[in-house]
């Protein structure tokens, strides 16, 4: 049975607030970007699972799969499209002030798209969870957090297609571990 105290604490810390605090912790941004750029991990979903885990909760696989598909469409059609455009304009922005301004606006739109995605994850998690079992209690030992995150995101193996080089494996392993360490030590901002 879902612990109502955990759910109440979850509702008291919006996912966006958690994401800002967690992402700004040392090594987290680099770890998230490594996993995003190397494995195609959706950082918003990763943050969502981290938010749940610090409250002792996790999403149930069946309902999660349906929500994940909806969030993947948003990421692909909105956030990734903006990210691609922002990255594409980077060289031109170094030579043109007007392109740099445009790129900054696109970066702000990308951030807003990520915020919207996180808000949709939060609504899904907190909206009528008793009627539509979406969450369950989760008890994690600190040494299990990295594997738990990988399992939630369906990346249980480090030897995926492009990860033949040991440097890539090490970088990815270090990223998972950095996130796990920060989640284990996370304290909500006051």
pLDDT at 161 over 70: no
Instruction: Share the mean pLDDT of the chain.
Output: 85
Better-predicted residue by pLDDT, 20 or 9 = 20
| Domain locations in the chain as residue ranges | 4-185
Q: How much is the average pLDDT of 149-159?
A: 62
pLDDT of 146: 73
pLDDT one-digit tens code per residue, 40-79: 889 999 999 999 988 889 898 888 998 999 999 999 999 9
Q: Indicate the pTM of the whole model.
A: 0.85
Averaged pLDDT for residues 169-188 = 84
Tell me if 78 sits within 8 A of 109, measured CB to CB.
Answer: no
26-48 per-residue burial string, b: 16 or more CB within 10 A, e: under 16: eebeebbebbbebbebbbbbbbb
- CB atoms near residue 167 (< 10 Å): 8
> Would the pLDDT of 164 be above 60?
no
Q: What is the pLDDT of residue 158?
A: 47
Quick one: pLDDT at residue 187? 72
Which of 82, 168, 11 is CA-nearest to residue 3? 11
- At 68-106, the pLDDT tens digits run 999 999 999 999 999 999 999 999 999 999 999 999 999
């Amino acid at each position: 049975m879902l612990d109502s105290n955990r759910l109440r604490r979850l509702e008291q810390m919006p996912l966006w607030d958690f994401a800002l605090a967690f992402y700004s912790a040392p090594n987290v941004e680099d770890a998230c970007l490594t996993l995003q750029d190397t494995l195609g991990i959706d950082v918003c979903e990763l943050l969502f699972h981290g938010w749940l885990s610090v409250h002792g909760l996790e999403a149930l696989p069946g309902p999660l799969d349906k929500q994940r598909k909806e969030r993947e469409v948003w990421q692909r059609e909105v956030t990734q499209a903006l990210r691609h455009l922002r990255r594409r304009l980077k060289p031109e922005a170094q030579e043109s002030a007007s392109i740099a301004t445009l790129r900054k606006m696109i970066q702000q739109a990308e951030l807003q798209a990520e915020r919207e995605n996180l808000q949709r994850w939060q609504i899904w998690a907190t909206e009528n969870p008793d009627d539509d079992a979406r969450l369950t209690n989760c008890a994690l030992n600190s040494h299990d957090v990295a594997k738990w995150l990988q399992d939630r995101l369906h990346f249980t193996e480090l030897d995926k297609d492009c990860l033949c080089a040991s440097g890539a494996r090490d970088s990815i392993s270090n990223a998972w571990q950095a996130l796990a360490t920060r989640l284990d030590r996370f304290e909500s901002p006051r």
